[in-house]
Amino acid sequence: MSILVFVEQRDARVRSIVREVLGEASRLAAVLGGPVVGVCPAASDPGLATLGDAGAERVLLAAHEAFARYDAAGYTLAVVAAIEAVKPQVVLFGASAMGRDLAPRVAARLGVGLATDCTALAADGGRLTATRPVFAGKAIQKLAFPRVPALASLRPKVFAPAAASGRTATVEPLTVGFDPAAARAKVVRMAAAAGARVDLTEADVIVSGGRGLQDAGNFRLIEELAEALGAAVGASRAVVDAGWRPHSEQVGQTGKTVSPKLYVAVGISGAIQHLAGMSSSRCIVAINKDPEAPIFKVADYGVVGRFEEVVPALIEAVKQLNAQV
């Protein structure tokens, strides 16, 4: 038995979500038995040997110049080739933008089940069971897999990386018969937003604003607080629909699902669609002038007050603390 982990890389750098997935794979392997193996489609080795420290015993490198950036068809072939070579009992992905697109393709190719956006995994009777939120977080679903391999994608910032072991992983080549010319779609161009902060799904701290801010110009307070906290900026759907912020910052059922260590919600009422995207945050701080706002039901700390008064005071307090460090 073994566990296979998809190793996501972007711009020749392994993404942080990989260490979280490897950490959970290592804990499962201690129960199920067998090694933890990674598979990485890339143009060249992005430093895969270091993943031994994160729990991987060996990593299969599917090297192809077309894999410098995400290619859905090619990456699917690479993961399927790794599954055929390793014959794992479990295959794990990070529930990142890439993982959300790739995992269903692999599952469809193999004809096996997939549990997406999981918040817990367990080995029950030697087989994988997965826990995931459904119905916008209003219910929790527990799944078993009738066929192997069992495929699951893991919600970012929920699973802890394994303790550093100081080991190195063996990197082995994986041959993939992929012809880019035969692909039905190809990536023509990728454009990154200038000066973008860390991706929301990977951020440890997020400051989000909602329609309670009243005007797009007031989002400068959200940005100032985020800068003071070293945080990413998020937004509710209402704010994005109004054109105040880009969709890449939207948190919620139709945006991004996040699980930071700290989530600060300013002027956000707490509609169920928004809560579905951030309720698994470790610590939630809500700032709203309405004491009956639903956001307070999930908040660990709540401040009832006008954002014009609360947020500037909070910014100043954080700056003073930063100056003492």
- Domain harbouring 265, CATH code: 3.40.50.1220
Tens-digit pLDDT profile for residues 84-128: 999 999 999 999 999 999 999 999 999 999 999 999 999 978 889
In a domain, 239, yes or no: yes
pTM: 0.84
Give the pLDDT mean for 18-43: 95
Segment 142-169 mean pLDDT: 92
In a domain, 192, yes or no: no
Q: Specify whether 150 is located in the same domain as 264.
A: no
140 and 109: one domain?
A: yes
Residue 247 lies in a domain: yes
Q: Per-residue pLDDT averaged across 237-266, rounded?
A: 93
Q: What is the 3-state secondary structure (H, E, C) of the chain?
A: CCEEEECCEECCEECCHHHHHHHHHHHHHHHHCCCEEEEEEECCCCCHHHHHHHCCCEEEEEECHHHHCCCHHHHHHHHHHHHHHHCCCEEEEECCHHHHHHHHHHHHHHCCCEEEEECEEEEECCEEEEEEEECCCCEEEEEECCCCCEEEEECCCCCCCCCCCCCCCEEEECCCCCCHHHCCCCCCCCCCCCCCCCCHHHCCEEEEECHHHCCHHHHHHHHHHHHHHCCEEEECHHHHHCCCCCHHHEECCCCECCCCCEEEEECCCCCHHHHHHHCCCCEEEEEECCCCCHHHHCCCEEEECCHHHHHHHHHHHHHHHHHHC
Res. 192 pLDDT band, cuts 50 70 90: low
Q: Is residue 190 part of a domain?
A: no
pLDDT of residue 253: 85
Q: Looking at the structure, do residues 212 and 175 belong to the same domain, yes or no? A: no
User: Do 177 and 227 belong to one domain?
Assistant: no
- The answer to whether residues 155 and 12 belong to one domain is yes
Pair 242, 295 in one domain: yes
- Which structural domain range is residue 295 located in? 200-324
Q: Do 223 and 311 fall into the same domain?
A: yes
- Residue 188, in any domain of the structure: no
Q: Are residues 148 and 263 in the same domain?
A: no
161 belongs to a structural domain: yes
Residue 258 included in any domain:
yes
Spacing of C-alpha 313 from chain mean position:
32
One domain, residues 140 and 29: yes
Does 157 lie in the same domain as 8?
yes
Domain boundary among 122, 148, 182: 182
Domain assignment present for residue 116? The answer is: yes
pLDDT: which is higher, 55 or 189: 55
Q: Which of 127, 147, 182 is the last residue of a domain?
A: 182
Please check whether residues 120 and 208 belong to one and the same domain.
no
Average pLDDT on 5-10 reads 96
Confidence of residue 197 (pLDDT cuts 50, 70, 90): low
Domain final residue pick, 182, 212, 239: 182
Mean confidence (pLDDT) of the chain: 92
pLDDT at 198 over 80: no
CATH number at residue 90: 3.40.50.620
Interval 204-233 mean pLDDT: 95
Kindly report, residue by residue over 162-189, the tens digit of the pLDDT: 888 889 999 999 999 888 887 788 777 7
- Count structural domains, the chain: 2
Q: Does 229 share its domain with 135?
A: no
